[in-house]
Amino acid sequence: MLAFVGDSRMRLMYSYVADLLMHVENADRLYTEPLDARDARNDVSFWIPDLNITLYYFRLHQPDEHHRLKMFIKSPEKQKAFDYAIFETGSWSLFNGGLTVLPDFRKNLTEAAMKLSLLPRETLFIWMQTLPFHPYVKSQRNRWVIERGPVYRDIEQFGRVMREVADEHGVTLWQSAHDLALQHPELYADRVHPNRQLYQKFICQFFDALDWQNCPAVGTGHNSRSVCVH
């Protein structure tokens, strides 16, 4: 089982992996149009019987949502432990409080690290370093990124704190996705959300890190291709 924990950016990653494993080839609309608010607000799970894989999205906008974190740890889905759980956060903390909340962000991340240590040992919990913003992407959605000044620089401070707390508590950190996003601002659907192609690159990194010998393919028959083709 694979869980994605976070806000709409993790919800889109969940959707991309579901599309990938179900061979949905024409789902680009999901990554070029605004995500329905309900999609990012609700928890979702998806079982792929042919592959015996369960995907799970759990909404956790900010690390101070302790009741939500407790719900995730004690979720009915946890009757069988997740193999991997990927967590990304920071954008909502910046949106709600700006840089003034950085000390609280660090404190709440530290508490989250301690609570997540309660997960079964067979679960690898991975923190994805806070993804960047790109205010010069042409889309006008997520206008707060423009109206509140240089938040594309501010969001990096949240990523730095996440990196430091992960190091202090021995949490596995996924930093290469953040670095890749910085290199490819043209692969953003708007100022906050990566597009489908960038999510493909993220998942390729993930599969490569797991050393999957059979990388999932997109399409069927002679039209199939590996997701990890660069």
Comparing 51 with 157, the larger pLDDT belongs to: 157
Average pLDDT, the chain: 77
Instruction: Kindly tell me if the per-residue pLDDT of 30 is higher than 80.
Output: no
**CA-closest candidate to residue 192, choices 229, 142, 153, 230:** 142
Of 35-39, 119-123, 129-133, 184-188, least confident by mean pLDDT is: 35-39
pLDDT of the residue at 220? 34
User: Residue 79, exposed/middle/buried by CB under 10 A (0-12, 13-18, 19+)?
Assistant: exposed
> Which pTM value belongs to this model?
0.80
pLDDT in tens, 119-158: 767 788 899 999 999 877 555 556 666 666 678 888 999 9
Overall average pLDDT of the 189-198 stretch: 89
**Cα dihedral 43, 32, 194, 207 sign:** positive
Tokens linked to 84: 């991997």
- Percentage of the chain beyond pLDDT 90 is 30
- Percentage of the chain beyond pLDDT 70 is 74
Max avg pLDDT among 104-108, 139-143, 201-205: 104-108
Distance CA 3, CA 72 (A): 10
pLDDT in tens, 204-228: 898 888 775 444 443 333 333 334 4
pLDDT of the residue at 102? 95
Overall average pLDDT of the 160-164 stretch: 96
pLDDT of the residue at 28? 46
Taking the alpha carbons at both ends of the chain, their separation in whole angstroms is 26
Distance CA 171, CA 225 (A): 33
Q: At what angle do helices 196-210 and 8-21 cross, to 10 degrees?
A: 70
DSSP states of 26-84 as a string?
Answer: S-THHHHSPPPHHHHHS-EEEEETTTTEEEEEEE-SSTT-HHHHHHHHT-GGGGS--SE
Tell me how crowded residue 142 is: count the other CB atoms within 10 A of its CB: 21
Overall average pLDDT of the 27-50 stretch: 57
Q: How confident is the model at residue 68 (pLDDT cuts 50, 70, 90)?
A: confident
Distance CA 42, CA 57 (A): 8
